[in-house]
């Protein structure tokens, strides 16, 4: 949001309530972003909590001259997920952590999710960078510029990667594939409550 930098500055100056505003604005978005990388509710909650703890501790390092707050907090979240998988010492490539979880779902949810199978399979086959771009653009509604700030690269390269991924998705999964992709966001378990 346009005034994020104002709240970040106030927090850096000692106003902890200003950080509460930023927390309330971004907790669900950061949680969803992490959930789509881990697909474990408890892990997503723990990592989201860590992200905001780190953000609070490092708020003095944020500079609106270098970028927007949303890109800054997503970079912290992205690094938290990478660190999580590194510490797990699993033999899973960090870039390929993208299995859509299906356990702990009701019969109705399984029926609904079965219609998304081809879209899910497509998502599993594309490179991690494209998955991040899709997640940040469609589900987190970041601009191309903000996404470039989060993952690196240029705004044009992000636009091109997103367009290519969506075009391939439509070719492989049909004209309604984008709607199915957007529907995946409704499958995310809700995070813990916000501070307010």
Where exactly are the structural domains of the chain? 4-95+105-187
Say what the pLDDT of residue 183 is.
64
User: Which parts of the chain register pLDDT below 70?
Assistant: 1, 89-117, 175-177, 179-196
Say what the pLDDT of residue 15 is.
93
* C-alpha 119: how far from chain center: 18
Say what the pLDDT of residue 185 is.
58
* C-alpha 152: how far from chain center: 15
Say what the pLDDT of residue 115 is.
45
The token pair that represents 42 in the structure block: 């408890």
- Alpha helix stretches (DSSP H) within 102-186: 107-114, 117-125, 128-134, 144-151, 155-173, 177-183
Give buried/exposed letters for 135-162 (b at 16+ CB in 10 A, else e).
bbbbbbebebebbbbbbeeeeebbbebb
Say what the pLDDT of residue 87 is.
87
Tokens 């992200």 correspond to what residue? 51
């Amino acid at each position: 949001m346009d005034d994020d930098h104002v709240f970040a500055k106030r927090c850096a100056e000692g106003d902890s309530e200003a950080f509460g505003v930023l927390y309330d604005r971004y907790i669900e978005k950061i949680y969803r972003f992490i959930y789509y990388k881990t697909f474990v509710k408890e892990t997503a909650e723990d990592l989201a909590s860590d992200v905001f703890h780190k953000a609070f501790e490092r708020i003095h390092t944020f500079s609106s001259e270098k970028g927007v707050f949303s890109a800054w907090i997503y970079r912290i979240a992205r690094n938290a997920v990478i660190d999580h998988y590194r510490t797990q010492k699993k033999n899973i490539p960090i870039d390929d952590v993208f299995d859509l979880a299906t356990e702990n779902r009701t019969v109705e949810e399984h029926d609904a999710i079965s219609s998304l199978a081809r879209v899910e399979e497509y998502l599993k086959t594309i490179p991690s960078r494209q998955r991040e771009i899709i997640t940040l653009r469609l589900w987190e509604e970041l601009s191309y510029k903000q996404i470039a700030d989060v993952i690196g690269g240029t705004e044009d390269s992000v636009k091109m990667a997103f367009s290519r991924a969506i075009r391939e998705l439509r070719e492989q999964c049909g004209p309604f594939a984008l709607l199915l992709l957007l529907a995946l966001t409704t499958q995310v378990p809700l995070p813990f409550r916000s501070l307010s």
